[in-house]
Amino acid sequence: MATWTSGYVAEISYTQGFYRELAPTLLRFVALSKAMRARGADEPLSYCELGCGQGFSVNVLAAANPHITFHATDFNPTHVAGARALAAAAGTENLTVYDDAFAELLVRDSLPSFDIIALHGIWSWISDENRRVIAAFIKAHLKVGGLVYISYNALPGWASGMPLRRLLVDHAGAATGPIDKRIDAALAFSERIRGANSAYFRANPGVGDRLDRMKNASRNYLAHEHLNKDWQPFYHADVAADLDEAKLTFVGSTSVLDHVDNISLSQPQRDLLADVSHPALRETVRDFLINQQFRRDMFQKGPVALSPLDLQDDWADQRFALTVRRADVNMQVDGTAGRMGLLPEVYGPILDAFADGPRTVRQIANDPAIAGLGWSRLRQAITVLIGSDQMHPCLPEAGDAVRAVRTRAFNRAVMLKARTSAELTHLASPVIGSGVPVDRFGQLFLLAEAENAPDPVRFAAATLEALGQRVVKEGRRLEDPEEHIAEFRAQFETFNTRRRPLLAQLGIA
């Protein structure tokens, strides 16, 4: 048993996720949407990620934002080794990854002050003592005006699920053997309890769905999500109080769909919320209205409201890009208040204006169809498109070419890994300063081109075949070589029509 872990799961690595909420461009947009002043995402900022896991997100961001100095820590040395190896393979020089525990980072010499400190999936999974250390770190190292992104399991959404998690922990803790097998056994045992007409499952109907979702989740995810010694969901008000020690003020959610009340709340809920003026209580009431399970909050040290003129200017100068093809934009958006259709007369002209690539608001605002919408509807529509993950705020165009040199090198390092695994799911975009999903097929096709392979289809198929791998389609492994290559050809056509033009706009293909 390792002693550095403080009860944190270390025997199984965490998943290689990419989280767009960590992107400086998105965080700046949260401030803009809430009419707060924040430093430009294109400025030479300093950024620190606490508990970076395998470090894929911070690697993508460092490659896509070479003007920002990134620091990251995770006390799991296996995670750090992987994060450093990817940075080295990509030649990313603006990222330093430490294997410090939070308490060690707090006392490390020569750390700069940061414009952004981010922690995703940390706060609920560490001890009270480590939460105090993080608050102290933020207090010592965040610049005035700096932003903090923090996510955590929330109440009341987790209330009924807490006993299920406890059951898993107790069962897995009492067993021996590898952790994934213990998780399997704990899930099977929980299933038996449900099957025994358990009154707990009957009284809490959502718990059965939660158990079903757990059964389908990766064992690495479940180990880190649920099996730590420390695991605690929070009310927003308590997190805000803890961070108040570091002089932080809540600005808004990075799930920016939440900024648009008529998508996230019903009319009676909006009326009710209008009666609550205390900021922390408002958030808590909101969480009761939607049974919030997971919060993604952004705080700021010393927020300053933008004047109406500055706000208008900042919006006008901000560049945005679609992250799905115009033809593929989903006009039904799922908010917490249910599914809402996007009005074609509002969204149509806006989507058309962005169809051929990124634009600033100023560039599209003179189009009569858009001018007719007015500022407020335009801003709301852009916020909804970002919140539904169909659009992203961009860095300024002037730096695209310089950034593309770095993202090309990074993407190549990622695509080389696609030869053996589908684990890395995003490529870096110099345009949005963030990651864009590109599956293994897409990565292999792009790699083939980067390596001047004469036939990307054969290159990609042969790469898998050399490892004895085959595409599995509708549950069937495509063993027949002709069928296998036909599948790659079909994927290539889809990639060329649906993804490539978009990836070109985002500076990736």
Ligand X SMILES: C[S@@+](CC[C@H](N)C(=O)[O-])C[C@H]1O[C@@H](n2cnc3c(N)ncnc32)[C@H](O)[C@@H]1O
Q: Which is nearer to ligand X, 77 or 344 (CB)?
A: 77
Dist. CA 7–CA 130, nearest whole Å = 12
CB of 22 to ligand X, least distance (A): 8
Find, among 498, 502, 509, the residue nearest to 447 by Cα: 509
Contact flag: residue 76 with ligand X (CB under 6 A):
yes
Amino acid at 261: D
CB burial class (10 A; 0-12, 13-18, 19+) of residue 156? middle
Which of 29, 125, 235, 488 touches ligand X (CB under 6 A)? 125
Beta bridge partners, 477, equal 472
User: How far is CA 376 from each of CA 238, 291, 312, rounded to the nearest angstrom?
Assistant: 33, 29, 10
Q: What is the number of other CB atoms lying within 10 angstroms of the CB of residue 345? A: 9
User: How far is CA 207 from each of CA 9, 161, 162, rounded to the nearest angstrom?
Assistant: 24, 6, 9
Contact flag: residue 295 with ligand X (CB under 6 A):
no
Q: Are 481 and 487 in contact (CB under 8 A)?
A: no
Q: Token pair for residue 297?
A: 């909050």
User: How far is CA 220 from each of CA 82, 130, 423, rounded to the nearest angstrom?
Assistant: 16, 23, 13
Contact flag: residue 21 with ligand X (CB under 6 A):
no
Q: Which is nearer to ligand X, 157 or 507 (CB)?
A: 157
Dist. CA 273–CA 288, nearest whole Å = 11
Which of 24, 53, 252, 303 touches ligand X (CB under 6 A)? 53
176-195 residues in contact with ligand X (CB under 6 A) are none
CB of 152 to ligand X, least distance (A): 11
Q: Which stretch binds ligand X (CB under 6 A): 125-133, 244-252, 347-355, 482-490?
A: 125-133
Q: Token pair for residue 402?
A: 């310089």
434-493 residues in contact with ligand X (CB under 6 A) are none
CB of 169 to ligand X, least distance (A): 15
Contact flag: residue 52 with ligand X (CB under 6 A):
yes
Indicate left, alpha or beta for 35 from its phi (over 0: left) and psi (-120 to 50: alpha): left
Contact flag: residue 79 with ligand X (CB under 6 A):
yes
CB of 81 to ligand X, least distance (A): 12
What is residue 259's three-state secondary structure?
helix
Contact flag: residue 153 with ligand X (CB under 6 A):
no
Q: Which residue is nearest to ligand X (CB)?
A: 53
CB of 119 to ligand X, least distance (A): 7
Contact flag: residue 122 with ligand X (CB under 6 A):
yes
CB of 58 to ligand X, least distance (A): 9
Which of 74, 297, 314, 487 touches ligand X (CB under 6 A)? 74
Strand pairing category for 472-473 and 476-477: antiparallel
Q: Are 419 and 447 in contact (CB under 8 A)?
A: yes
Q: Which stretch binds ligand X (CB under 6 A): 73-81, 88-96, 359-367, 425-433?
A: 73-81
Q: Which is nearer to ligand X, 122 or 436 (CB)?
A: 122
Question: x/- string (CB under 6 A) for ligand X, residues 222-241?
Answer: --x-----------------
Q: Token pair for residue 39?
A: 């430093």
Contact flag: residue 8 with ligand X (CB under 6 A):
yes
CB of 143 to ligand X, least distance (A): 22
Q: Which stretch binds ligand X (CB under 6 A): 14-22, 176-184, 379-387, 413-421?
A: 14-22
Q: Which is nearer to ligand X, 63 or 260 (CB)?
A: 63
Beta bridge partners, 421, equal none
Q: Are 325 and 61 in contact (CB under 8 A)?
A: no
Helix axes 375-387, 344-354, angle to 10 degrees: 70
CB of 56 to ligand X, least distance (A): 8
Q: How far apart are the first and last CA of the chain?
A: 46
Q: Which is nearer to ligand X, 126 or 446 (CB)?
A: 126
Compute the half-sphere exposure of residue 447: CA atoms within 13 Å on the CB side of its CA.
Answer: 25
Which of 29, 75, 231, 492 touches ligand X (CB under 6 A)? 75
Question: x/- string (CB under 6 A) for ligand X, residues 94-113?
Answer: -------xx-----------
User: In the complex, which residues of this chain contact ligand X (CB under 6 A)?
Assistant: 6, 8, 14, 17, 19, 51-53, 73-76, 79, 101-102, 120-122, 125-126, 130, 224
